[in-house]
Amino acid sequence: MDTRTDSTAGPAAPAAGAAAGDGSGSAAAPGALAFRYSAGFGNQHSSEAVPGALPVGRNSPQRAPLGLYAEQVSGTGFTEPRASNRRSWLYRIRPSAAHPPYRRIGQGTLRAAPFDEAEPDPNRLRWNPLPEPPPGTDFVAGLWTLGGNGDVRRREGMAIHLYRANSSMRDRVFGDADGELLIVPEHGTLLLRTEFGPLAAAPGQVALIPRGVRFLVELPEGESGGYVCENYGTPLALPELGPIGANGLANPRDFLAPTAAYDEAERPVEVIAKFCGGLWATNLEHSPLDVVAWHGNHVPYLYDLRRFNVIGSISYDHPDPSIFTVLTAPGVDFVVFAPRWLVGEDTFRPPYFHRNVMTEYMGLIEGAYDAKAEGFVPGGGSLHNMFSAHGPDRETYARAVAAELAPHKVDDGLAFMFETRWPVSLTAQARNGSHLQRGYDRVWQGLERNFRP
Ligand SMILES: [Fe+2]
């Protein structure tokens, strides 16, 4: 039995829109694909596509059920403390170990840390969207690295990628040993077929593919683009809440893991591994997406950014943007500027001027961002490196100091930030790209002296 669903045949089963009472749920990509999901960040999920495929009471029985092979995938070291330990057990048609040697393949516009192509640069920089790629470009071929930090061989730091793709991965499957991938679609829904089952990520949703987990990307809506944060280090987790209490920000129950689905078709499939920055490939005569059942907590997730519970000031000033943190890891944060009310009295309401030890890459999923009147467009991005001074542009400042401070809802856009502890070094293609905006500094020109003692 092949439980793969064909996205070209219309809205896909299994169980579109179904939400069971067992803690599982579903999330519809607006107007597109819906799958059955299992809810809860960090949970010990379990799923079987065929009843009886998941062993009960042990992980590695003498004979795994239904003739399957048991295989553990560990995302953290075996002895990692229990609270941060991540692993899953997969019950698959063939073990991953059965493969011929990998060979080095080209990697197009994909780059990895250490980033030493261009001298680190304190300038504030902004880019237009990536140009459309040549026909036949799939998700992996369409990855384009802007820059990053750390060292992939030390499992420290991160990379900022964008992608534009116009072709589904058919018989190509990708796995990244170097880090987890936080995928932020900007246009076009991504259908991610993973070892753990399918996820449909539409713009406004994000998908998290854990380190080493294999997946392919189909494009049910055609040409697609977005952003990727590749986190080389400790996996992203939900931030502590402190005095906020037991609820708020991104709630664990809104993170959706897939349910098991397997591809048993026998056909040539190329498996691509990203390993220490390079791409390698091997060939199988079957798909590695052949997991019939699984359990564990090293699993992919889907999260809808519009479910983010925004916390803000109801008196004056506004909190530091860390209050918008969705997921955090040592040295890397993912922050969303979701629709929210501004009600601060006697308060400069846009993000304040600041200089910051952290480095901020911002992207825009839709609409506009409240600190920039123009030039920051969906699919584009800006980089404010360590201690680069920034803040609202001249036009936004003038409007904010003159505004009547009635309650105001900011709901005309969805922006996000990849924030990192270490400065970001650019790739040559980012520093010299034709889509780099020249003269970004001009947005802060004309912020004139108003001081009249
Ligand atoms: Fe900032």
Which percentage of the chain shows pLDDT scores above 90?
Answer: 88
Confidence of residue 221 (pLDDT cuts 50, 70, 90): very high
Catalytic: 45? Answer: no
Task: Report pLDDT digits (tens) over 260-307.
Answer: 999 999 999 999 999 999 999 999 999 999 999 999 999 999 999 999
Report pLDDT for 25.
Answer: 52
Report pLDDT for 162.
Answer: 98
Report pLDDT for 18.
Answer: 34
Q: Which residues surround ligand 1, an ion (CB under 5 A)?
A: 360
Q: Which of 298, 318, 408, 435 is catalytic?
A: 318
Q: What DSSP letter does each residue of 254-267 carry, written as one string?
A: G-EEE-------EE
CATH superfamily of 311-441: Jelly Rolls (2.60.120.10)
State in Å: Cα 349 to ligand 1 middle.
Answer: 14
Residue type, 403: A
Is residue 233 predicted with pLDDT exceeding 70? yes
Is residue 196 predicted with pLDDT exceeding 80? yes
Report pLDDT for 20.
Answer: 34
Task: Report pLDDT digits (tens) over 360-375.
Answer: 999 999 998 776 767 8
Report pLDDT for 372.
Answer: 73
Strands 266-275 and 172-176 come out as parallel
| Distance in angstroms (rounded) separating the CA atoms of residues 4 and 193 | 9
State in Å: Cα 358 to ligand 1 middle.
Answer: 8
| Distance in angstroms (rounded) separating the CA atoms of residues 357 and 106 | 36
Show Cβ contacts of residue 288 under 8 Å, excluding neighbours closer than 6 positions: 96, 173, 195, 214, 269, 271
| Distance in angstroms (rounded) separating the CA atoms of residues 78 and 354 | 42
Report pLDDT for 2.
Answer: 36
Report pLDDT for 374.
Answer: 76
Task: Report pLDDT digits (tens) over 20-30.
Answer: 333 445 554 44
| Distance in angstroms (rounded) separating the CA atoms of residues 185 and 202 | 6
Phi, psi (rounded to 5 degrees) for 252: -55, -35
The CATH architecture one would assign to domain 14-50+65-76+84-305 is Sandwich (2.60)
| Distance in angstroms (rounded) separating the CA atoms of residues 47 and 293 | 6
State in Å: Cα 157 to ligand 1 middle.
Answer: 19
* Entry pTM: 0.93
**Which whole number is the average pLDDT over 120-135?**
95
Is residue 444 predicted with pLDDT exceeding 70? yes
State in Å: Cα 321 to ligand 1 middle.
Answer: 8
Domains 14-50+65-76+84-305 and 311-441 share a fold: yes
Is the C-alpha dihedral spanning 25, 29, 35, 38 positive or negative? negative
Please state the residue numbers annotated as binding site. 354, 360, 369, 390
CB-based contact 383:436 (threshold 8 Å): no
The residues spanned by each domain of the chain are 14-50+65-76+84-305, 311-441
State in Å: Cα 421 to ligand 1 middle.
Answer: 13
Is the C-alpha dihedral spanning 401, 406, 411, 416 positive or negative? positive
Paired residues of 227 in beta bridges: 162, 184
**Which whole number is the average pLDDT over 423-429?**
98
Q: String of b and e for 48-73 (b: at least 16 CB within 10 Å)?
A: bbbeebbbeeeeeeeebbeebbbbeb
**Which whole number is the average pLDDT over 193-197?**
98
Please state the residue numbers annotated as binding site for homogentisate. 369, 390
Task: Report pLDDT digits (tens) over 297-350.
Answer: 999 999 999 999 999 999 999 999 999 999 999 999 999 999 999 999 999 999
State in Å: Cα 84 to ligand 1 middle.
Answer: 30
SS3 content of the chain, % helix, strand, coil (to 5): 10, 40, 55
Report pLDDT for 369.
Answer: 78
Q: Across the chain, what does the average pLDDT equal? A: 92
Distances in whole angstroms, Cα of residue 78 to Cα of each of 213, 222, 328: 17, 41, 22
Task: Report pLDDT digits (tens) over 146-162.
Answer: 999 999 999 999 999 99
Please state the residue numbers annotated as binding site for Fe cation. 354, 360, 390
Task: Report pLDDT digits (tens) over 387-418.
Answer: 999 999 999 999 999 999 999 999 989 999 99
